[in-house]
């Protein structure tokens, strides 16, 4: 990151190659549309480029990237809400309902399906902790939350996931007994 700040674009390319897959998974987990995730990833890298001078050397870089990605996602959501509010009257007149933002298209990955019932903030914390492999402190920095808040969200998410997995096992067991 230090070399990128100094203008070494080979370092920028290396960062993009290394971090983009993680950021892409972060966005895909939040949106039904892969093109939206592509756009958000591109917007994130544009913002990172514009604000690269604000990164403080010696600080972990991954939370800094995720904080920017999170802000890009929030800005995208706010813009979508404003657009939806303006277009609502047109939809009512035309009776052509567009798919809701949260609907998923075809079959998603098992992980996405498993995390679907979690709240947005819980899903975000789980993805950062378990998928990206970030520490509690890094997730706290990236989400502008306290470590305690991150722990609480993770704990509640784990409880929901346990309940869901238990229910899935019960259903499998019941269907297996009837066969």
- How much is the pLDDT for 99? 39
Q: Which CATH class is domain 109-179?
A: mainly alpha
CA proximity to 64, closest of 76, 54, 50: 54
- CA atoms within 13 A of residue 72's CA, in its CB half-sphere: 26
- How far is 103 from 6, CA to CA, in rounded Å? 43
- How much is the pLDDT for 133? 85
Which pLDDT band holds residue 90 (cuts at 50, 70, 90)?
A: very low
pLDDT in tens, 36-54: 889 999 999 999 999 999 9
Helix or strand (DSSP H, E) at 39: helix 34-51
- How far is 57 from 27, CA to CA, in rounded Å? 26
- Kindly report the CATH number that applies to the domain delimited by 1-106: 1.10.1740.10
User: What is the average pLDDT across 98-122?
Assistant: 63
**Where along the chain do its domains lie?**
1-106, 109-179
Decide: 113 and 30 in contact? Cβ < 8 Å. Answer: no
- The total number of residues written for the chain in this structure: 179
């Amino acid at each position: 990151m230090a070399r990128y700040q100094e203008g070494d674009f080979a370092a920028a390319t290396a960062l993009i190659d290394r971090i983009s897959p993680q950021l892409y998974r972060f966005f895909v987990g939040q949106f039904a549309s892969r093109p939206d995730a592509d756009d958000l990833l591109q917007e994130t890298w544009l913002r990172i480029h514009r604000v690269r001078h604000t990164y403080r050397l010696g600080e972990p870089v991954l939370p800094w990237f995720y904080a920017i990605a999170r802000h890009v996602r929030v800005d995208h959501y706010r813009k979508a809400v404003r657009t939806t509010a303006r277009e609502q009257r047109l939809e009512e007149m035309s009776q052509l309902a567009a798919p809701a933002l949260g609907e998923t298209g075809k079959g998603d990955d098992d992980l996405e399906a498993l995390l679907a019932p979690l709240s947005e903030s819980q899903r975000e914390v789980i993805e950062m902790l378990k998928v990206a492999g970030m520490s509690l402190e890094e997730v706290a920095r990236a989400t502008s939350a306290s470590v305690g808040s991150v722990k609480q969200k993770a704990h509640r998410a784990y409880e929901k996931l346990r309940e869901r997995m238990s229910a899935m096992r019960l259903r499998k067991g019941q269907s297996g007994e009837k066969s």
